């Protein structure tokens, strides 16, 4: 509700990106291990810089995306890679979460970002969800000047990309 009425305030502070994503993977690894899934983190070598941004909201979005990837994948793996490109003061950072799960039909790929939508898969029961995680995540990412995109095929998994402009604190550049 705060997002929809323009009352959500972002809190920008300095944070270390590798620390944020490594800690997040450590927290979610037990969940992936319960399902015998391989959770892999690939952080580009050149992403060493500290950034300014709302690390709490970034963690919230990534927790939702990674949690969904684990939730909707029964076998195989979940890959989490981070890449980026530099502008003069800002880096555009891409957080890519791909899985070997159920996949999402083309006609549902934008619907999953609508409030209170939970997609069923074939003869399976309704998936336990309030249908708010992805819509909230996309709204927050857009509030930060970024976006979330999805690519998927039924039976071939899904790939979600969170792209955010983040101001660099140090002069290290993504190459």
At 55-108, the pLDDT tens digits run: 999 999 999 999 999 999 999 999 999 999 888 888 899 999 999 998 999 998
Can you give the pLDDT at residue 175? 55
Can you give the pLDDT at residue 115? 74
Can you give the pLDDT at residue 111? 86
Res 12 pLDDT > 50: yes
Res 170 pLDDT > 90: no
Can you give the pLDDT at residue 128? 42
Q: What is the mean pLDDT of residues 1-29?
A: 83
Can you give the pLDDT at residue 2? 47
**pLDDT tens digits for 29-49?**
999 999 999 999 999 877 767
- Residues with Cβ within 8 Å of 87's Cβ and at least 6 positions away in sequence, in order, are 165
Can you give the pLDDT at residue 88? 83
**pLDDT tens digits for 103-129?**
999 998 888 888 765 655 554 443 444
Q: List Cβ<8 Å contacts ≥24 apart for 78-81.
A: 78/32, 78/37, 78/38, 78/39, 78/40, 79/40, 79/42, 80/21, 80/25, 80/39, 80/40, 80/41, 80/42, 81/41, 81/42, 81/43, 81/44
Can you give the pLDDT at residue 141? 95
Can you give the pLDDT at residue 87? 82
Can you give the pLDDT at residue 13? 93
**pLDDT tens digits for 125-164?**
434 445 678 988 999 999 999 999 999 999 899 999 999 9
Closest to 139 (Cα-Cα) out of 71, 61, 54, 69: 61
Instruction: State the Cα–Cα distance between residues 110 and 106, nearest whole angstrom.
Output: 8
């Amino acid at each position: 509700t705060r997002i929809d009425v323009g009352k959500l305030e972002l809190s920008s502070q300095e944070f270390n990106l590798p620390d944020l994503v490594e800690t997040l993977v450590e927290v979610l690894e037990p969940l992936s291990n319960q399902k015998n899934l391989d959770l892999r983190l690939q952080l580009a070598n050149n992403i060493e810089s500290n950034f300014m941004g709302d690390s709490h909201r970034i963690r919230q979005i990534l927790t939702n995306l990674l949690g969904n990837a684990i939730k909707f994948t029964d076998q195989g793996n979940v890959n989490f890679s981070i890449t980026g490109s530099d502008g003069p003061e800002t880096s555009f950072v891409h957080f890519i979460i791909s899985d070997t799960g159920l996949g999402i039909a083309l006609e549902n790929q934008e619907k999953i970002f609508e409030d209170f939508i939970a997609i069923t898969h074939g003869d399976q029961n309704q998936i336990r969800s309030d249908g708010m995680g992805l819509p909230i995540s996309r709204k927050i990412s857009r509030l930060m000047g970024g976006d979330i995109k999805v690519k998927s095929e039924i039976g071939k998994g899904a790939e979600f990309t969170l792209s955010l402009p983040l101001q660099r604190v140090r002069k290290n550049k993504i190459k």
